[in-house]
Amino acid sequence: MQLRYNFRLYPTTGQRFALARTFGCARVVYNDALRARETARSTGAPFPKVGELSKLLITEAKKTPERAWLGEVSAVALQQSLRDLDMAYRNFYDGLKGKRPKMGAPRYKSKRDTRQAVRFTTNAYWKITSGSKLRLPKIGDVPVKWSRALPSTPSSVTVVKDSAGRYFASFVVETDASEVLPETTPEVGIDLGLGHFAVLSDGRKIDSPRFLRRAEKRLKKAQRALSRKEKGSKNRGKARTRVAREHARVSDARREFHHQLSTKLIRENQAVAVEDLAVKGLARTRLAKSVHDAGWSTFVSMLEYKAARYGRTFIRIGRFEPTSQVCSACGVKDGPKPLGVRVWTCGACGVVLDRDINAAINVAKAAGLAVSARGAQVRPVLVPAPRNEAGTHPKRPAALVQWEQAGIPGL
């Protein structure tokens, strides 16, 4: 399988100017190619191929006074920009044909876009130097903060500048089955929510960190300062970067939480089951901010690829499975319940059920997993005997009288 590794870059001032020049040239070539294809589509002319666009918009354009500055950057980055446009068109048409989720048509890039990226392949002769720096063509040796070792040699590197002004090197590498973990016994079902981020079928509850909610005070202060700056001024640009850094801090903390929790669950359990949630639908309700703050889709995606990577089983059950309506003890469907009902009693067997833990157990059962309850999800109580059942004592037992005096509900 393919995995992506991101590492922080710390370019010098000169290297930042060189990267900005590369970003700008790649953006111009992308827009020129998009304009050429849109012109061909509107006039009914044949769709130009990538090779034709490369010769016209890169090789020939360098010879003109208007595009002579394209020769100041690596030609590989410009060619990859054309390939990105070609892939954008393929994804757009595949979405129209139903081969993948629908996507919008390719759009022009702006120099005011807060995120910029270029890609270098092996043809650009980039490499990692003996001093652990990243050597990029016509940019130089850029210092890198290596947090881990790459499992294999990457074939390309993508340099990204995010909205917060940070630079990253992104590598896509191939991995094999050498990281498969030894088999284990536990299997778990997971119910994702807002009160608790995740509730497991074994009774454990993981609290929701709510990173965005906790950072709202700092975000409010930074956004208020941004709104007071004059549009087009340098101070407004600095204020915008401060707001982006606050959002990046929230996003990084959430991603770290997702990685740690997903890795722990995959390592501890042989099989993991989750429910396919309608995140897009929930994001249109009054719970939208909390739903986006939780980041369920990202967490489930991490569980899925880590299960494939480490040899675990990942199961996704349908979103219409009535996990919150079925009693996990007797299997009787008790009907829908409002979100405010967190504990309910089964009318058939009289078991007191925790809504979230009961749903997690039903998720595991729907996925065909073996559920080992630890006693945390149910609490049995005394149930009145049926009226047609023959009595065994004509008088009230002394033990029952003592229970009633002590305030314990009896038969």
Q: Are 3 and 173 in contact (CB under 8 A)?
A: yes
Active site residue 293: no
What are the phi and psi torsion angles at 314 (to 5°)?
A: -120, 130
Q: CA 361 to CA 232: how far, in whole Å?
A: 56
Which residue type occupies 368? G
Whether residue 328 contacts residue 353, with contact meaning beta carbons closer than 8 Å, is answered with: yes
Count the helix, strand and coil residues of the chain and give each as a percent rounded to the nearest 5.
45, 20, 40
In angstroms, the CA 403 to CA 150 distance is: 67
Task: Enumerate the β-bridge partners of residue 173.
Answer: 3
Task: Please identify which of the residues 32, 191, 202, 354 carries the catalytic annotation.
Answer: 191
Reply yes or no on whether 183 is catalytic: no
How would you classify the pairing of strands 271-275 and 187-192?
parallel
The type of residue at 108 is Y
Nearest CA-CA partner of 253 in 286, 289, 212: 212
Decide the pairing of beta strands 167-174 and 351-354.
unpaired
Alpha-carbon gap, residue 353 to 195, rounded angstroms: 17
Catalytic residue among 187, 246, 275, 304: 275
Which two structure tokens, joined as six digits, stand for 215? 């950072």
- The residue type of 369 is L
Residues contacting residue 393 through CB under 8 Å, at least 6 positions apart: none
Does residue 207 have an active-site annotation?
no
From the list 246, 293, 354, 356, the catalytic residue is 356
Residues taking part in catalysis? 191, 275, 356
